[in-house]
Amino acid sequence: MSENQEHAHIVPYRTFFLVWVALLALTAITVAVAQVNLGPLNVWAALGIATVKSTLVVAYFMHMKYEARLFKLALLAALAILAIFIGMTFLDVLYRS
Amino acid sequence: MTVDHAAAAERGFLAEARRPGPFGWIFSTDHKRIGLLYLWSIVTFFCVGALLGLLIRLELWAPGRTIMDAQTYNAVFTLHGVIMIFLFIIPGIPAAFGNLVMPIQIGARDVAFPRLNLLSWWLYIGGAALAVTSLFTGGGPPDTGWTFYVPFSARTTTNVSLATVAVFILGFSSILTGLNFVTTIHRLRAEGMTWTRLPLFTWSLYATAWIQILATPVLGITVALLFAERVIGTGLFDPAQGGDPIMFQHLFWIYSHPAVYIMVLPGMGVVSDIIPVFARKPAFGYKAIVVSSLAIAFAGSLVWAHHMYTSGMSDLAVMVFSLLTFIVAIPSAVKVFNWLATLYQGSILLDPPLLFALSFILLFTIGGLTGLVLGAAATDVHVHDTYFVVGHFHFTMFGGTGMAFFAAMHYWLPKFYGRMYDKTVATVAWGVIFTGFCILYLSMKIVGMMGMPRRYWDYVPEFTGLNQLATAGSWILGIGLVLMFVNLVRGVLYGKPAPANPWGGATLEWQLPSPPPTENFAHDPVVTHGPYDFRKAGIL
C-alpha cells in the first residue's frame, strides 16, 4: 500500500529547511542572472529557475511528492494542457509580421 | 390508502418528494428531479431566445428600420446569442438529459456528488438571474455580441461588467457538472458495466465532461480579465498600455471553441443511442464511435484560432490552425459513416425520435462541411463575418445539437413522465420544423455568400429577397416549435400511459418502470450484455 490520504506523511524539519535554503539560493541566482545580458536567454533562465522553484514548493511544501500517483498525473495533465495552450498561442505571438 | 400508494408507486420519483410543493424540487438532490429542473429551465430560456431570434428576423425583413432601432438590435442579437449559447445549448443535453439518464444508464442510484449537482443548478439559475439583471441595470443591455470582443467590450457603456460576472458563474455550474459526471462514470458503474458496455450517450458525456473541466476555467479567466479591464483599467488588452487585443480573442476561443464540442458531443451521443434502437441493430463500430468522441474532444481543443484568421495574427498560426481544423473533420465523419452503417439494412421504425436524429445527421453534415469552408484560411477570408457563418453555425448548433435535444425529449420524456405524447402531431411538428429550418438557414448561407455581413442592422436592397425568404422560414420554424412543445407538454400532462420500454431499447433505463422510482434500482443491477445487444436483452 502506498502513502495515501489517511496517513499524513511526516516530513522532517531538516527537509523543509533544506528546501527553504534551496529556494533562497535560487532567488539569489535569479537576481544575479538578471544582471547579465544574455539576450532572449534571460527570459528562459528566469522561467527555468522559476520552474525549479515552483516544483520544489509543490513537491515538498504542498506534499505532492507523497501523494498517490493519480494526483500526480492529474497535476501533470493540467500543466501539460496549459503548456500546450500557451505554446500554441505563441505560434501567433512570436511570428507576427 | 392502498389505491393511493399504488398510484404513488406508479408515478415513481415524481410522487416521492422529501419536502412539500416546489421545495421538493428546488432542494431535491435526486438526479432525475435536478434533470427535470434543468430541462424546463433550459426549455424556457430556449423559448425566450427563439422569440428574440424571430424579432431579429422581423427587423431584417426590409433594409432600414423595420421594428427597432440599431442600438436595440445590437442588444437583441447579443441577448439572443448569450441566452442560446450559455443558457440553452451548453447546459442543454448534458445538464438536462445527462442528469436524467446517465446515472441510470450505468446502473447507479444517483450521481457521485448529489449536493454538488443541486449546487450546479442553483449556480445556473443564479448566473441566469444576473444575466437578466444586466439588461435593466447599469448602462443598459450589453451590445457586444456573445463574444465580448475587446476593444469595444472594454469601452462600451452598456452593462458588460455584470454580464461577464453572470458568464463567470455559469461557467462554474458547467465545471461542477463535468466534475460530477467524470467521477460518477469512473466510480459508480454497476457490476458488469465495463467501459465497452457503456452506452454511447454516456461515453459522449464522459468526453464532454473532460472539456468542461479543462476548458471552462479559461473562460472564467477571460471574463475576469475583461472585468478587470473595464473596472480598474488593467490595460492587458489595450495596445496603448502595452496590451494586446488579439490576446483576448485567443483566450476567448481557447474556451469557446472546445465549448462547441461541449455543445455537440452530447448531441452525437443522443443520436448514437437512438439510431440502433430504431434500426433494431447494434451500433456499427461501437469502439470507433467512442474513440472518435475522445478524438473530437482532444483535437477540438487545439483549433481555436480558426476563428481569428482575419484578426491580424501571424501567418504561421493561420496555417497551423487551418491544418488542425481539417483533422477534426475526420472523427466527425467517422461518426456519420457509423450512423449510416448502423441504419443500413436495419428494420427501421420512423418514430419521432428517429426523425429528429436523422435530421441531425443531415443538417450537422451540411453544417460541418460548410465549416470546412470556414476552416480553410483561403476561403474563410472571403466569407468571414458574413451571414454564411451565421448559416453555418446554426446548421451545426441548431440543426445538430438543437435537433438532438428535441430527439432526446421525444425519446426519454415518456420514460420520465410515464406518459406518451401524440406521435402523429410530433411527426407533423418535425416536418414543419425541418422545412422552416432549411428555408431560414439556407437563405442565410446564400445571402452570406453574396456578401451580406453579419450583425448589421441595415443592408443593401439587393439582399431583400433572400432576407424576406429567411424571415418567412423563421415563421414556419416558429410554428413548428410551438406545435412540438405544446404536443410534448400535453403528452407529459395528459398523454396515454407509456410502458416501461416503449421503443424497445436495451440500455438500463428501459428496464425500470416509467417513471423510475426515486433511487432507481431496488437492487444493484448486474450487467450481462452490451448496450445495443437486443437479442440478449430479449427485445429481438
Residue to substitute from A81, A88, A90, interface B, most B β-carbons within 10 A: A88
Average pLDDT over residues B4-10: 62
Instruction: Please give the Cα distance from B161 to B530 (Å, whole number).
Output: 50
Range of the domain at B184: 2-511
Which residues on A lie below 8 Å from B175 (Cβ)?
none
Contact B302 A84 (CB under 8 A): yes
CA B298 to chain centre: 19
CB-based contact B50:B478 (threshold 8 Å): yes
Same domain, A97 and A57: no
Same domain, A6 and A28: yes
Which residues on B lie below 8 Å from A94 (Cβ)?
314
Q: What is the dihedral of CA B448, B454, B456, B461, to 10 degrees?
A: 0
pLDDT (tens digit per residue) in B35-77? 999 999 999 999 999 999 999 999 999 999 999 999 999 999 9
A70 interface with B at CB cutoff 8 Å: no
Contact A92 B214 (CB under 8 A): no
B146: Cβ contacts below 8 Å, ≥ 6 apart:
B78, B81, B82, B85, B86
Beta-carbon count within 10 A of A47 CB? 9
A6 interface with B at CB cutoff 8 Å: no
3-state DSSP call for residue B421? coil
Same domain, A79 and A35: no
Which residues on A lie below 8 Å from B316 (Cβ)?
91-92, 95
Same domain, A52 and A89: no
B341 interface with A at CB cutoff 8 Å: no
Same domain, A41 and A4: yes
Is B525 inside any structural domain? no
CB-based contact B424:B371 (threshold 8 Å): no
| Gyration radius of chain A's alpha carbons | 17
CA B459 to chain centre: 31
- The pLDDT value recorded for residue B21 is 85
Q: CA-nearest residue of chain A to B249?
A: A89
Confidence of residue B2 (pLDDT cuts 50, 70, 90): very low
> In a 10 Å sphere around its CB, with 0-12 CB exposed, 13-18 middle and 19+ buried, how is residue B487 labelled?
buried
B250 interface with A at CB cutoff 8 Å: yes
Instruction: Please give the Cα distance from B148 to B154 (Å, whole number).
Output: 9
Q: Which one of B250, B301, B312 has the shortest CB-CB distance to A89?
A: B250
Query: Percentage of chain A surpassing pLDDT 90?
Result: 54
Same domain, A14 and A36: yes
Q: CA-nearest residue of chain B to A78?
A: B214
Q: Which ranges constitute the DSSP H helices of B137-199?
A: 152-155, 160-187
A27 interface with B at CB cutoff 8 Å: no
**Element housing B231 (H / E):** helix B200-232
pLDDT at A91 over 70: yes
pLDDT at B522 over 80: yes
- The pLDDT value recorded for residue B20 is 85
Contact B320 A89 (CB under 8 A): no
Cell numbers representing residue A24 in the block: 533562497
- The pLDDT value recorded for residue B334 is 94
pLDDT at B379 over 70: yes
- The pLDDT value recorded for residue A96 is 87
Q: Which ranges constitute the DSSP H helices of B241-398?
A: 245-279, 286-299, 315-343, 352-375, 377-383, 387-396
Confidence of residue B1 (pLDDT cuts 50, 70, 90): very low
Contact A96 B313 (CB under 8 A): yes
- The pLDDT value recorded for residue B114 is 96
Same domain, A46 and A12: yes
Is B523 inside any structural domain? no
Same domain, A56 and A82: no
Is B319 inside any structural domain? yes
Q: How many domains does chain B have?
A: 1
Is B111 inside any structural domain? yes
Which residues on A lie below 8 Å from B214 (Cβ)?
78, 81
Confidence of residue B11 (pLDDT cuts 50, 70, 90): confident
Confidence of residue B540 (pLDDT cuts 50, 70, 90): confident
Confidence of residue B158 (pLDDT cuts 50, 70, 90): very high
Average pLDDT over residues B428-434: 98
Cell numbers representing residue B392 in the block: 453555418
Q: How many domains does chain A have?
A: 2
With both helix axes pointing from N to C terminus, report the angle between B160-187 and B200-232 in degrees, rounded to the nearest 10. 150
pTM of the model as a whole:
0.92
CB-based contact B470:B439 (threshold 8 Å): yes
Q: Give the total residue count for chain A.
A: 97
Residue to substitute from B250, B253, B306, interface A, most A β-carbons within 10 A: B250
Same domain, A48 and A75: no
Q: Which one of A78, A92, A94 has the shortest CB-CB distance to B250?
A: A92
Closest to B99 measured CA to CA, from B168, B48, B42, B22: B42
Is B490 inside any structural domain? yes
Is B343 inside any structural domain? yes
- The residue assigned the cell 476561443 is B253
Is B494 inside any structural domain? yes
Q: How far apart are the first and last CA of chain B?
A: 40
pLDDT (tens digit per residue) in B440-455? 999 999 999 999 999 9
B254 interface with A at CB cutoff 8 Å: yes
Range of the domain at A90: 69-97
Contact B314 A96 (CB under 8 A): yes
Q: Which one of A78, A85, A95 has the shortest CB-CB distance to B314?
A: A95
Is B540 inside any structural domain? no
Q: Give the total residue count for chain B.
A: 540
pLDDT at A9 over 80: no
